[in-house]
Amino acid sequence: MTLPTDPDQGTEHTTTEMMVGQRLRKLRVSKGLSLRSLADLSGLNINTLSLVENAKTSTSVGTLQQLAAALSVPLSAFFVEETIEKQVVFTPAHPQPTTAFNHTQLVYLAQNLSRKTIQPYLVTLKAGMGSGNNMIVHTGHEFVYCIEGQAQFTIDNEVYPLKTGDSLIFEAHLPHAWENNQPALARLLMILAPADAAEEAGSRHVSLEKLQKEKTMKIAVITEDGKKISQHFGRAPYFLVLTIEDGKVTHREMREKPGHGHFGGRAEETHGHRHGFDEGSHLKHKSMAETISDCKVVLCGGMGMGAYDSMRRLEITPIVTDLKDIDEAVKLYLEGKLVDHPELLH
Q: Specify the pLDDT at position 276.
A: 60
Q: Specify the pLDDT at position 201.
A: 34
Pairwise CA distance, residues 209 & 335, whole Å: 9
268 inside domain = yes
16 inside domain = yes
Structural domain boundaries, residue 167: 10-199
Q: Specify the pLDDT at position 170.
A: 95
The number of folded domains in the chain is: 2
Q: Specify the pLDDT at position 102.
A: 66
Domain boundary residue, one of 177, 199, 221:
199
Instruction: Check whether residue 186 and residue 211 sit in a common domain.
Output: no
Largest CA distance in the chain: 65
Instruction: Check whether residue 279 and residue 131 sit in a common domain.
Output: no
3 inside domain = no
Q: Specify the pLDDT at position 262.
A: 52
Instruction: Check whether residue 149 and residue 277 sit in a common domain.
Output: no
289 inside domain = yes
Instruction: Check whether residue 14 and residue 105 sit in a common domain.
Output: yes
Q: Specify the pLDDT at position 15.
A: 76
- Positions of the chain with pLDDT lower than 50, given as ranges: 1-13, 197-214, 260, 263-274
Tell me the CA distances in angstroms from 145 to 63, 177, 266, 338, one per residue in order.
22, 15, 38, 34
What CATH number did the domain enclosing 145 receive?
2.60.120.10
Q: Specify the pLDDT at position 259.
A: 60
Instruction: Check whether residue 64 and residue 165 sit in a common domain.
Output: yes
Residues 256-314 have pLDDT tens digits of 987 645 544 443 433 444 456 677 888 888 888 999 999 989 999 988 888 888 888 88
270 inside domain = yes
Instruction: Check whether residue 262 and residue 122 sit in a common domain.
Output: no
4 inside domain = no
Domain boundary residue, one of 162, 177, 199:
199
Pairwise CA distance, residues 244 & 333, whole Å: 11
Domain boundary residue, one of 144, 176, 199:
199
Q: Specify the pLDDT at position 215.
A: 57
End-to-end Cα distance, the chain = 32
191 inside domain = yes
Instruction: Check whether residue 195 and residue 214 sit in a common domain.
Output: no
What pTM was computed for the model?
0.56
Q: Specify the pLDDT at position 274.
A: 46
Pairwise CA distance, residues 238 & 260, whole Å: 8
